[in-house]
Amino acid sequence: MQTYLELLNEAKAILQRNTMTVTVNGKLYERIIPSRDFYVHQWLWDSAGIAMGQVHIDEEAAFHELLSLIAGQWNNGLIPHIIYNPGETRYYPPADQWQTTRFTRDGIKTSGITDPPLLAIAAANLCDHASDEQKKRDFIITLLPSMMAYHDHLKRYRDPEDCGLLTIVHPWESGTDDSPRWDSVLNRIDLNNIPTDLKANVDLNRKDIRYQNSEERPTEADYYRYIYLIELFKDLAWDYTKILHETPFAVKDILFNSIWARANEALAALLHTYGNQEEANTYQRWAEQTQKALTNTWSEEDQQYCDIDVTQGRHQAIVAPTNAIFMPLYAGAVTDAQLDILLQRLSNTDEFCSAYPVPSTAIHSRYFDKERYWRGPTWPITNFFIIEGLKRYTARHKNADQLANFFMQKTVQMIKENGFWEYFDPLDDATEPHAKGMGFSSFSWTAAILIQLLNKLYYN
């Protein structure tokens, strides 16, 4: 039986193996990729999550991770969800498909959409855990203008109506690609209207299902629509005023916005210590505005927070029992009455308290598919947010603390028994005594989250 120390060492080794040093235009970048098998570039929210684990092992490397990430920032402030490493061909879509190089600096190639905005949260977390005061200060001072430009960009282009909730325009921006939350919106994109050559191109070039069981990945129809959206945005020259107007996918995502609220709190706290108080007040105000707006997405009838479909003038609540409904805990947006219900749903063995909790979709629901990506499997990253979210409420409800500890133990156990997989079967089937690991193995944020959890559980 592996000890916790051995497990920790394995996690460190994975992060080391997944570190890539690349040179673009004579400049050297060091970054950790999600997996050597497929995700061979840098992803925004993976990278932020990885840095939060890495800081416990190697502070310098954690700083590098985030500095390497902001190197991909566009001149208009956007931080794209993928920063491509040159010469890598294992991932689809390839860098050139996006045609975004004119917006970036130093010839760095990136995607054109963003990811859940975890950057400022990670930066603040690094500050909490790094020990060298001077290096910490230098790091934050370097990072602050980029973080502010990113937040200002998001506020300007994704919340032009100033309602407190940002709009995402692609399922990939949610980080939960094929979640049932997106079905009703995506289904309006008629597959018959997607050009045949685009579909042929996807069929020919899509790579994840060459390496993986297709039952565990998004469907063919999902992929046609993902790429269709990219082509549309490219035709609109990545002008986000036009994109918001024309996209057939525009959603106020509760997961994305919960991270947005907490990221604004984090940025405000950093500015309070290292910057300007007036600017800190602006981001704090944005955080509070988003918290209030999230609270108001609650549906009494459905007992959950709801994403809002705002495509082309709509304003329609999306009701789907996924683990995103717990994200407002992370944002600090939960009333006492809502907290009671969330804790009940999290403890319910027919819903979210499966053998290996927390499943991405409630196990009793008609959408549940224990193997397919964000439609059932348990993901360490969302567990981490739920655990951190519950910890915000321990003073308000004793069950919050108990559940947070239970999910920490279970997440560690799931990884210890099965390995560092991308996601896991949430059920404990009679034929399979342990949660089954799925997707790609030696996965970086699984390793990084394990490091954080072990630190919280055993080394603090």
User: Which residues is 438 bridged to in the sheet?
Assistant: 423
Q: Which two tokens stand for residue 182?
A: 């997106």
Residue 144 contacts residue 270 (beta carbons within 8 Å)? yes
Would you say 41 or 136 has its CB closer to ligand GLC?
A: 41
Would you say 159 or 177 has its CB closer to ligand GLC?
A: 177
CB of 39 to ligand GLC, least distance (A): 5
- 177 is a catalytic site residue: yes
Rounded to 5 degrees, what angle do the CA atoms 97, 35, 324 make?
85
- 432 is a catalytic site residue: no
Three-state secondary structure call for residue 180: helix
373 phi/psi in degrees, rounded to 5 = 45, -110
CB of 49 to ligand GLC, least distance (A): 9
45 binds ligand GLC (CB under 6 A): yes
- Closest by alpha carbon to 405, among 386, 381, 377? 386
CB of 296 to ligand GLC, least distance (A): 26
Q: How many residues bind ligand GLC (CB under 6 A)?
A: 7
Residue 116 contacts residue 255 (beta carbons within 8 Å)? yes
Would you say 34 or 72 has its CB closer to ligand GLC?
A: 34
Rounded to 5 degrees, what angle do the CA atoms 100, 104, 108 make?
90
* C-alpha dihedral (208, 209, 213, 215), degrees to nearest 10: 100
- Closest by alpha carbon to 353, among 375, 329, 378, 328? 378
Of 273-312, which residues contact ligand GLC (CB under 6 A)?
Answer: none
39 binds ligand GLC (CB under 6 A): yes
CB of 400 to ligand GLC, least distance (A): 26
Would you say 139 or 423 has its CB closer to ligand GLC?
A: 423
Would you say 53 or 164 has its CB closer to ligand GLC?
A: 53
Residue 215 contacts residue 439 (beta carbons within 8 Å)? no
Of 420-459, which residues contact ligand GLC (CB under 6 A)?
Answer: none
Would you say 114 or 338 has its CB closer to ligand GLC?
A: 114
Would you say 43 or 157 has its CB closer to ligand GLC?
A: 43
CB-side exposure of 123: number of CA atoms within 13 Å? Answer: 34
Candidates 65, 173, 177, 253; catalytic one: 177
Q: Which two tokens stand for residue 97?
A: 């498909």
Rounded to 5 degrees, what angle do the CA atoms 155, 157, 159 make?
55
CB of 179 to ligand GLC, least distance (A): 9
Choosing from 8, 11, 34, 260, the residue that interacts with ligand GLC (CB under 6 A) is 34
- Closest by alpha carbon to 322, among 348, 377, 359, 369? 359
296 phi/psi in degrees, rounded to 5 = -75, -5
CB of 43 to ligand GLC, least distance (A): 4
CB of 216 to ligand GLC, least distance (A): 12
Query: Which residue bears the tokens 């106020």?
Result: 252
- Closest by alpha carbon to 254, among 168, 346, 376, 357? 168
d(C-alpha 171, C-alpha 180), whole Å = 11
175 binds ligand GLC (CB under 6 A): yes
Choosing from 43, 98, 226, 393, the residue that interacts with ligand GLC (CB under 6 A) is 43
Three-state secondary structure call for residue 203: helix
Would you say 284 or 382 has its CB closer to ligand GLC?
A: 382
384 binds ligand GLC (CB under 6 A): no
DSSP state of 261: H
253 binds ligand GLC (CB under 6 A): no
Choosing from 177, 216, 265, 371, the residue that interacts with ligand GLC (CB under 6 A) is 177
Stretch that binds ligand GLC, among 40-48, 161-169, 269-277, 425-433 (CB under 6 A): 40-48
Choosing from 11, 18, 24, 46, the residue that interacts with ligand GLC (CB under 6 A) is 46
Candidates 173, 208, 422, 425; catalytic one: 422
Stretch that binds ligand GLC, among 43-51, 85-93, 123-131, 227-235 (CB under 6 A): 43-51
> Strand locations in 225-314, DSSP E?
251-252, 298-299, 304-305, 307-309
Active site residues: 177, 422
Q: Which residues bind ligand GLC (CB under 6 A)?
A: 34, 39, 43, 45-46, 175, 177
